[in-house]
C-alpha cells in the first residue's frame, strides 16, 4: 500500500487530500467507508455500492471469525471472492468488541477470552489470532488488535490499556500478512492527552502503514471526541493515512478533516435507513413520518441515486410502514450515495482551497434543521 499526500495544510494537521493505493484500487481521501460487518453492507448488493461510487468497505474480524469462520473463508478464496467485491476492504481487528461485548469477555495479558454472542461457546482472540484471521480474509488493510476502553475510564486503567495495546501492536507488526496487506496501528488512551501521545509515539516507533484514532464513539460527549483527535493526530506522521474509527456524524467528520483526518467508517447510513431516515445536504429526513404520506417528490431533489431517480417519498414511506424490505434497501442506497457525494464535495473544497467555506456552510445548513 502507498499513500500519496498531494495537498495539506498546517503541517498535515489541517484539511488534506491524498490517495491510498492498494492492489485492488485507489482510495481518494478524505473517504467514508460503509460498514459490511458480516461480509455484506446491510440490504444492498456490491453493484449498488459500485453505482454509488464506494471505493472501500469495512468488514469485522470478530464476527466473520465466528460466522462463517476461517475454514470456509479460506475455501472461498478470501473475503473479496466470498462476497464478490473486487475493490479494497479494511478489516477491523475485533478490538472494538473488547468494548462492546465487555459483559461476555475476560481480559488476559495475551488477548481476550470471549463467550460467543451467538451460542455462548468460549474462544480466545489475541493479536496472533486476529492477524491470522485477517490474513485468511486477505483484506487490503488490516488493523492491529487493541483494547478499546469505555468512557469514562480511570487513568490507571487507561494507562495499563495503552501499555497492552502497544505490546499487542508490536506482536501484530511481526506476524505474517496476506500479500499486499497493509497494517494500521490504533491510538488509545481515553481522555488522557499524555496517554494518547505516549500511544501514538509508541506506534510510530514500531512503524505502520497507517494510524487510527480509536477509543472514540464509546459514549463520550462530542467535546471529548474532538479532544481525542486533538490529542492524537499531531503525534502521527504527515505522510501516513489517519483513520478515525466509528465516526459518521457529518459535522464530526468535517471537524475531524479540519484536524488532518483522512478516513472514516460508521453504520449510520445503513442503520438510519432501516429506521426510516434519509440523509440529505440539509440534514436527515424522517421519510417514515406521516407528513410524507402524499409527498410525491424524490427523497432528495437532485440526487442521482437509483432511489431518487425512480421513486417518491410517499412510495418509500409506504414500503417502510408496510415492513417491505425494499423500503430499507432504497433508503440505504440513497444514504450511501449521499455520503459518497458529501465526501466528494469535501475533497473538491479542499482542492479548491475553500474548505473553510465548506465547513461553515455545512454547519449552517445542518443547524437550520435543528433550530
Local confidence band at 370 (pLDDT 50, 70, 90 cut-offs): low
Domains in the chain, number: 2
pLDDT (tens digit per residue) in 285-313: 999 999 999 999 999 999 999 999 999 99
Which is catalytic among the residues 92, 146, 231, 262? 92
pLDDT of residue 72: 98
pLDDT digits (tens, 9 = 90+) for 54-77: 999 999 999 999 999 999 999 999
Q: Residues 48, 140, 146, 265: which is the catalytic one?
A: 265
The last residue of one of the domains, among 266, 301, 332, is 266
Cis peptide before 68 (omega within 30 of 0): yes
Percent share of the chain, pLDDT over 70: 99
Residues 199 and 283 reside in one and the same domain: no
Q: Give residue 327's domain range.
A: 273-370
Q: Residue 57 CA to chain centroid, in angstroms?
A: 8
pLDDT band of 11, cuts 50, 70, 90: confident
Do residues 178 and 221 share a domain? yes
Please indicate, yes or no, whether residues 237 and 285 belong to a single structural domain of this protein: no
What global pTM score does this model have? Answer: 0.97
Please write the tens of the pLDDT for every residue from 258-284.
Answer: 999 999 999 999 999 999 999 999 899
Cα–Cα distance measured from residue 238 to residue 246, given in angstroms and rounded to the nearest whole number: 22
Please state the separation of Cα 34 from the chain's center in Å.
7
Q: Which residues of 122-149 are buried (b: 16+ CB within 10 A; e: fewer)?
A: eeebbbbbbbbbbbbbbbbbbbbbbbbb
Return the number of other C-beta atoms located less than 10 Å from residue 42's C-beta.
18
Q: Do 279 and 246 have their domain in common?
A: no
The reply to whether 157 and 108 lie within a common domain is yes
Give the residue from 234, 266, 298 where a domain finishes.
266
Given a cut of 60, whether residue 89 has pLDDT beyond it is yes
DSSP 232-262: HGGGS-TTS-EEETT---HHHHHHHHTTT--
Q: Mean of the pLDDT values across residues 232-239?
A: 98
Last residue of a domain, one of 266, 288, 307: 266
Please indicate, yes or no, whether residues 245 and 277 belong to a single structural domain of this protein. Answer: no
Residue 93 belongs to domain with CATH number: 3.20.20.105
Task: Report the pLDDT value the prediction gives residue 366, as an integer from 0 to 100.
Answer: 86
Q: Report how far apart, in Å, the C-alpha atoms of 35 and of each of 58, 99, 117, 128, 248 are.
A: 5, 18, 19, 24, 11
In this structure, the answer to whether residues 127 and 251 fall within a common structural domain is yes
DSSP 29: E
Do residue 259 and residue 342 come from a single domain?
Answer: no
Contacts of 74 (CB under 8 A, 6+ apart): 136
* Average pLDDT in the chain: 97
147 shares a domain with 123: yes
pLDDT of amino acid 28: 98
In terms of domains, do 220 and 344 share one? no
**Whether residues 8 and 102 fall in one domain:** yes
Q: How many angstroms separate the CA atoms of 299 and 364, rounded?
A: 21
Asked if 173 contacts 202 with a C-beta cutoff of 8 angstroms, the reply is no
What are the grid coordinates assigned to 232, written together?
A: 492524537
Respond yes or no: is residue 265 known to be catalytic.
Answer: yes
Amino acid at each position: 500500500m502507498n499513500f500519496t499526500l498531494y495537498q495539506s495544510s498546517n503541517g498535515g494537521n489541517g484539511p488534506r487530500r491524498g490517495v491510498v493505493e492498494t492492489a485492488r484500487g485507489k482510495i481518494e481521501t478524505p473517504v467514508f467507508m460503509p460498514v459490511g460487518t458480516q461480509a455484506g453492507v446491510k440490504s444492498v448488493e456490491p453493484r449498488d455500492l459500485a453505482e454509488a461510487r464506494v471505493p472501500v468497505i469495512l468488514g469485522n474480524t470478530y464476527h466473520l471469525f465466528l460466522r462463517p469462520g476461517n475454514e470456509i473463508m479460506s475455501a472461498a478464496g478470501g473475503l473479496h471472492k466470498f462476497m464478490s467485491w473486487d475493490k479494497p476492504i479494511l478489516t477491523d481487528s475485533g478490538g472494538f468488541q473488547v468494548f462492546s461485548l465487555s459483559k461476555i469477555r475476560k481480559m488476559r495479558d495475551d488477548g481476550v477470552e470471549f463467550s460467543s454472542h451467538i451460542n455462548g461457546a468460549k474462544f480466545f482472540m489475541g493479536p496472533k489470532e486476529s492477524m491470522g484471521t485477517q490474513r485468511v480474509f486477505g483484506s487490503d488493510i488490516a488493523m492491529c488488535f487493541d483494547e478499546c476502553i469505555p468512557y469514562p475510564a480511570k487513568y490507571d486503567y487507561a494507562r495499563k490499556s495503552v501499555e497492552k495495546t502497544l505490546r499487542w501492536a508490536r506482536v501484530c507488526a511481526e506476524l505474517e500478512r496476506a500479500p499486499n496487506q497493509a497494517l494500521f496501528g490504533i491510538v488509545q488512551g481515553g481522555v488522557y492527552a499524555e496517554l494518547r501521545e505516549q500511544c501514538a509515539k509508541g506506534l510510530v516507533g514500531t512503524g505502520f502503514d497507517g494510524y487510527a484514532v480509536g477509543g472514540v464513539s464509546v459514549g463520550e460527549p462530542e467535546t471529548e471526541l474532538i479532544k481525542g483527535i486533538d490529542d492524537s493526530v499531531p503525534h502521527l506522521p504527515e505522510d501516513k493515512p489517519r483513520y478515525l474509527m466509528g465516526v459518521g456524524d457529518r459535522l464530526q467528520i468535517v471537524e475531524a478533516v479540519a484536524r488532518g483526518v483522512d478516513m472514516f467508517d460508521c453504520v449510520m447510513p445503513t442503520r438510519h435507513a432501516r429506521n426510516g431516515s434519509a440523509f440529505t445536504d440539509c440534514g436527515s429526513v424522517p421519510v417514515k413520518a406521516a407528513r410524507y404520506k402524499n409527498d410525491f417528490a424524490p427523497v432528495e431533489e437532485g440526487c442521482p441515486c437509483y432511489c431518487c431517480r425512480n421513486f417518491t417519498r410517499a412510495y418509500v414511506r409506504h414500503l417502510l410502514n408496510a415492513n417491505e424490505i425494499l423500503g430499507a434497501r432504497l433508503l440505504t442506497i440513497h444514504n450511501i450515495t449521499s455520503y459518497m457525494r458529501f465526501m466528494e464535495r469535501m475533497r473538491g473544497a479542499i482542492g479548491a482551497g475553500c474548505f473553510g467555506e465548506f465547513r461553515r456552510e455545512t454547519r449552517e445548513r445542518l443547524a437550520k434543521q435543528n433550530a
